[in-house]
């Protein structure tokens, strides 16, 4: 039985050490709800890991329901995307549908003829319902290259070849240029939905431009001061200072480094924009690649900030899970929840093994009765 604790999260210890430091988001104007969520995450750090599940915009309850069917429990962290969609039952049977602002040939993924705007508004309403249950919301955005604004079929997102040159990148990240203006226009397409969530007092773990240290998105492969860092800071400034989206907690979400030729991911530090622009550092882990170094290097770079598993394919094995206690949450990517089979366990049993672990927190263990996150007292 878990230790009986009712966590008061108005004050938390950074790193759990004496000589406490008040937890504050990087945005000085962060909403009270965003501040309280961050404090809660710090209060459980190193002791508990939150469960999480990604759900696609066209069917936002689907994989959450799969988790419940497998475990009888609900994940705490509920994730989705303003654009990306996919269909399929598992990792071997799926279809990537690209961004939801769709041109041919991806139109078959648009359900019931709904427009992008209708789908995104539906996502907002789903988030409101999930938040009322006590879920913690995380959002991302597989966006088109800004020159295409919101009209691409996926080819400009997954770009192992032909990523923007440094000259193009410099123009994109320079105020008022030919490419910077459509970048702002693109941002403005999602601002109204984020504003609705702000006005509903819903804090968001916001993780834009994820896996930037990889080689597969247009925003990948730009290390150094004049690379990805400029795009991240520009995005932070525009959404926070121009649009006042003070409900966002900023999750800088890398991929676990790897040397696989043609599918490599570079060192974390080469893409880190700086602690003044990041609330949480996250890594995505696929192919069961839970090297201890991935956890330890990210923790070292974080310098006392939180770390998380932003996306995972398969859940970690018990040994890796317990040797890497500082992950604040994990989030299984969509259809991968049905692809958890190991040598000795079927998918459902492998999921239950982690969900039933004493270190793992599920929704029934979160008390959100007064609109703040804390642990439910265990009997």
CATH of the domain at 239: 3.20.20.80
Q: How far is CA 30 from the centre of its chain?
A: 19
pLDDT at residue number 154:
57
Return the beta strands (E) in the chain as ranges. Answer: 49-50, 52-54, 77-81, 86-90, 93-96, 136-140, 204-206, 248-255, 280-285, 306-312, 327-332, 360-361, 366-367, 374-375
Which residue numbers in the chain have pLDDT < 50?
1-20, 101-106, 379
Kindly give the residue spans of alpha helices, DSSP state H, lying in the chain: 32-44, 62-71, 116-132, 166-172, 180-188, 191-199, 228-237, 292-302, 318-323, 347-355
pLDDT of res. 325: 97
CB 5 within 8 A of CB 378: yes
> What distance in Å separates the CA atoms of residue 98 and residue 84, rounded to the nearest whole number?
5
The pLDDT score that the predictor gives to residue 264 is 93
Residue at 2 is within a domain: no
Q: Are 116 and 124 in contact (CB under 8 A)?
A: no
Instruction: Let me know if residue 349 belongs to a domain.
Output: yes
Is 187 among the domain residues?
Answer: yes
In a domain, 103, yes or no: yes
Q: Does residue 302 contact residue 281 with C-beta atoms inside 8 Å? A: yes
13 domain-assigned: no
- Contact between 43 and 12 under an 8 Å Cβ cutoff? The reply is yes
Q: Is residue 22 part of a domain?
A: no
Give the total number of structural domains in the chain. Answer: 1
Question: How do the residues of the chain divide into helix, strand and coil, expressed in percent and rounded to 5?
Answer: 35, 15, 50
Q: Which pLDDT score is estimated for 96?
A: 61
| Predicted model pTM | 0.92
The answer as to whether 21 is a domain residue is no
Tokens of 3: 């230790």
Q: Which structural domain, as residue segments, surrounds residue 350?
A: 33-375
Report the pLDDT value the prediction gives residue 71, as an integer from 0 to 100. Answer: 98
The pair of structure tokens assigned to 309 is: 């598993």
> Does residue 184 lie within any of the structural domains?
yes
What Å distances lie between residue 50 and 7, 114, 155, 296, 357, CA to CA? 15, 33, 34, 19, 11
């Amino acid at each position: 039985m878990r230790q009986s604790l009712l966590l008061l999260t108005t004050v938390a210890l950074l790193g759990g050490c004496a000589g406490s430091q008040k937890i504050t988001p990087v945005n000085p104007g962060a909403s009270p709800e965003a501040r309280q969520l961050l404090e809660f995450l710090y209060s459980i750090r190193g002791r508990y890991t939150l469960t999480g599940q990604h759900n696609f915009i066209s069917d936002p309850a689907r994989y959450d329901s799969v988790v419940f069917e497998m475990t009888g429990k609900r994940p705490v962290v509920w994730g989705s995307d303003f654009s990306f969609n996919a269909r399929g039952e598992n990792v071997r049977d799926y279809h990537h549908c690209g961004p939801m602002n769709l041109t041919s040939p991806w139109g078959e993924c648009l359900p019931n003829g709904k427009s992008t705007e209708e789908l995104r508004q539906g996502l907002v309403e789903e988030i409101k319902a999930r938040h009322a249950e006590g879920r913690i919301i995380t959002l991302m955005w597989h966006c088109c290259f800004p020159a295409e604004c919101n009209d691409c079929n996926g080819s400009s997102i997954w770009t192992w070849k032909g990523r923007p040159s440094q000259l193009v990148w410099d123009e994109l990240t320079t105020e008022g240029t030919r490419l910077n203006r459509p970048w702002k226009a693109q941002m403005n397409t999602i601002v109204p939905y984020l504003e609705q969530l702000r006005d509903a007092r819903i804090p968001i773990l916001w993780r834009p431009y994820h896996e930037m240290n990889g080689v597969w998105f247009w925003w990948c492969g730009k290390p150094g001061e004049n690379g990805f860092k400029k795009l991240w800071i520009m995005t932070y400034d525009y959404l926070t200072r121009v649009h006042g989206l003070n409900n966002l907690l900023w999750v800088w979400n890398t991929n676990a480094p790897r040397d696989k030729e043609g599918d490599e991911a570079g060192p974390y530090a080469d893409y880190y924009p700086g602690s003044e622009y990041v609330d949480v550092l996250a890594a995505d882990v696929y192919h069961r690649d839970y090297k201890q170094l991935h956890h330890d290097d990210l923790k070292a770079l974080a310098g006392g900030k939180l770390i998380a598993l932003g996306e995972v394919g398969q859940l970690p094995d018990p040994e890796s899970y317990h040797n890497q206690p500082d992950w604040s949450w994990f989030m299984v990517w969509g259809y991968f929840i049905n692809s958890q089979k190991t040598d000795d366990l079927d998918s459902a049993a492998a999921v239950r093994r982690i969900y039933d672990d004493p270190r793992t927190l599920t929704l029934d263990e979160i008390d959100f009765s007064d609109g703040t996150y804390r642990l439910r007292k265990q009997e």
